[in-house]
Amino acid sequence: METTYIEVCNLTKTYSAKNGNVEALKSVSLSIPKNEIFGVIGLSGAGKSTLVRCLNLLERPDSGDVFIDGQNLMTLGKEQLRLRRQKIGMIFQHFNLLEQQNVLENVCFPMEIRGIPARQRKEKAMELLKKVGLTDKADAYSSQLSGGQKQRVAIARVLANEPDILLCDEATSALDPETTKTILDLLKSIHDTMGITMVIITHEMRVIQEICTKVAVLDQGVVQECGSVTKIFNNPKSGAARRLLLMRETEEMADVG
């Protein structure tokens, strides 16, 4: 039996907007096993970004609980939460690098936050840059990098604190299909060598197919379906899953044509 590592129970989150309230999450429950690469897919506005941002409480749900390794994040104090976050890595669609710091300094930043001595963090950062294949870019600034390179820097940076969880919020959505593939390969190899539990948020079926083992289909703030990727791909039960698969097919047809 696999052990559950991340468990969310009855998460609800409502945003008040100009024209009424938007229910981003309606009592979402999920359990994510340790060492899994878990996908969450949905169309834009489905609530998937809100969901992943609730996993490290960047967004506080209105109600519900977030357990990580048995610990309820919702009950943590500000300082405890801050320290816990150091072990929950997150990468973003727009990379979010410090633009005034070079690549090496960016990778050092999380270690600086943890108070690791300068020499040690520099050594570790170079090691990580080697891992993501950017040793020659250590002195470059983010304006000199391509999108794929920026995401590699973000990945090196997120690994600097040796997280046990990696949250990926549309991490490949700003990248072209080929670069997407190389980033996903990198994530997969990191998963295989370091054994990090990953949560991948995306609107692209091909991302799920490429690297995830399990997937949850989110639509209108509700988990419509959850299970192994092959099962859901071969036999989608929910309307949302079918729509997403259909989109994938038209995408492929467009690629061929």
Partner 1 sequence: MWDETMVMMLLEGIRDTFYMTFVSTFFGYVIGLPIGIALTLTDQGGIAPNRTVYRMLDIVINITRSVPFLILLILVMPLTKLIVGKSYGSAATIVPLTLAAAPLIGRMVESSLKEVGQGVIEAAVSMGAKTTTIVFKVLIGEARTSLLVGVTIVLGTVLGYSAMAGVVGGGGLGDIAIRYGYYRYDTGVMLVTIIFIVAIVQLMQGVGMFAAKKLDHRA
Q: Which residues bind partner 1 (CB under 8 A)?
A: 56, 58, 82-86, 88-90, 92, 94, 96-102, 109-110, 112-114, 141, 143, 161, 167
Q: Nearest approach, Cβ of 216 to partner 1 (angstroms)?
A: 21
- What pairs with residue 165 in β-bridges? 88, 197
How far from each other are the two terminal CA atoms of the chain, in whole angstroms? 45
Q: Nearest approach, Cβ of 31 to partner 1 (angstroms)?
A: 22
Specify the long-range contacts of residues 185-191, CB closer than 8 Å, at least 24 apart.
186/132, 186/152, 186/155, 187/37, 187/155, 187/211, 188/37, 190/131, 190/155, 190/159, 190/166, 191/35, 191/37
Q: Nearest approach, Cβ of 51 to partner 1 (angstroms)?
A: 15
Ordered DSSP codes for 51-69? HHHHHTTSS--SEEEEEET
**Residue 68 burial class via C-beta count within 10 angstroms: exposed 0-12, middle 13-18, buried 19 and up:** buried
- Give one word for 167, left, alpha or beta, with left for phi > 0 and alpha for psi -120 to 50: beta
Q: Which of 196, 223 has the CB closer to partner 1? A: 196
Structure tokens at 222: 């509700």
Q: How far apart are CA 93 and CA 169, in angstroms?
A: 6
DSSP state of 3: P
3-state helix, strand, coil in the chain (%, to 5): 45, 30, 30
Q: Which of 14, 96 has the CB closer to partner 1? A: 96
Q: Which of 87, 181 has the CB closer to partner 1? A: 87
Q: How far apart are CA 17 and CA 64, in angstroms?
A: 22
Q: Which of 11, 166 has the CB closer to partner 1? A: 166
Q: Nearest approach, Cβ of 140 to partner 1 (angstroms)?
A: 10
> How far apart, in Å, are the Cα atoms of 108 and each of 72, 87, 91, 115, 207?
29, 15, 16, 10, 29
Q: Nearest approach, Cβ of 86 to partner 1 (angstroms)?
A: 4
Q: Nearest approach, Cβ of 223 to partner 1 (angstroms)?
A: 23
Q: Which of 41, 52 has the CB closer to partner 1? A: 52
Q: Which of 50, 224 has the CB closer to partner 1? A: 50
Q: Nearest approach, Cβ of 227 to partner 1 (angstroms)?
A: 29
Q: Which of 98, 246 has the CB closer to partner 1? A: 98
